[in-house]
Amino acid sequence: MNGALPLAGRVALVTGASRGIGRAIASRLAADGADVGIVARSADALAATRADIEAKGRRCFVLPLDVADGAAVTEAVKKFAADAGRLDILVNNAGVTKDGLLMRMSDEDWDTVLDVDLKGVFHFCRAAARPLAKSPAGRIVNVSSIVGMIGNAGQSNYAAAKAGLFGFTRSLAKELAGRKVTANVVCPGFIETDMTAGLPDAMKTQSLGQIPLGRFGAGDDIANVVAFLCSDGAGYVTGSVLPVDGGLAIGGFGG
């Protein structure tokens, strides 16, 4: 039974897996047969995701750390790859927002978002590159945002970090292609998670009107696409930037 699963025998690492999109991705990769390492800032926050993965019969490794701490990431990934015995899939999903208009944006809010959403991805890719290169089918999936593609007033820090992932990931796609490691970006649209729960109702209504498919997304909508990019069937897909947004990036209903 296990042998029939698409990711049987693979080992994945998912950041920002305590809730929301990252939790949906970790759960889906486990359902597809992978053992999964999960990252967030505290082990307590990861307990429910861990229980879910273990209930599916997979090994789960808990890595409590701040993705902005490069030394902690290097050490934890090294230990994880040794404990798990291999590393095949890296999904960089951890992210934060610190919204504010440019004229009022503090250095701290700029730095926090860049340090987590962009530099955190660099930390994990650098630490994971060697073990991924040893996999027969290494996969990197970086979770960006359609805000990186189309911008958003009040999110210049977030847009800069998320757009930075495009060039970063495409460079990795070229660097690591010789090792058969693919690197792709997924750009969620408006997904119902803690990150969007606090937005004003007026903004949600306006956003909904911009989504041709007429609904907000769920974590599973993103997890489905990430699972495909991690599968053997996506072995010829690298350097791609893929919106998963119900059509939000192409605008409203038009004529």
- Interface with ligand NAP (CB under 6 A): 15-22, 39-41, 45, 66-68, 93-96, 116, 143, 145, 188, 190-191, 193-196
Give the residue numbers marked as catalytic.
158
Cβ at position 191, least distance to ligand NAP in Å: 4
- Comparing CB distances to ligand NAP, the nearer of 87 and 118 is 118
- Comparing CB distances to ligand NAP, the nearer of 8 and 122 is 122
Cβ at position 151, least distance to ligand NAP in Å: 13
Could you please report the per-residue DSSP string of the chain? -GGGSTTTT-EEEEES-SSHHHHHHHHHHHHTT-EEEEEES-TGGGHHHHHHHHHTT--EEEEE--TT-HHHHHHHHHHHHHHHS---EEEE---------GGG--HHHHHHHHIIIIIHHHHHHHHHHHHHHHSTT-EEEEE--THHHH--TT-HHHHHHHHHHHHHHHHHHHHHGGGT-EEEEEEE-SB-SHHHHTS-HHHHHHHHHT-TT-S-B-HHHHHHHHHHHHSGGGTT--S-EEEESTTGGG-S---
Cβ at position 1, least distance to ligand NAP in Å: 30
- Comparing CB distances to ligand NAP, the nearer of 80 and 190 is 190
Cβ at position 112, least distance to ligand NAP in Å: 8
Cβ at position 40, least distance to ligand NAP in Å: 4
- Comparing CB distances to ligand NAP, the nearer of 45 and 105 is 45
Least Cα distance to 25 among 156, 193, 210 occurs for 193
- Comparing CB distances to ligand NAP, the nearer of 15 and 184 is 15
Quote the CA–CA distance of 247 and 213 in Å, as a whole number.
7
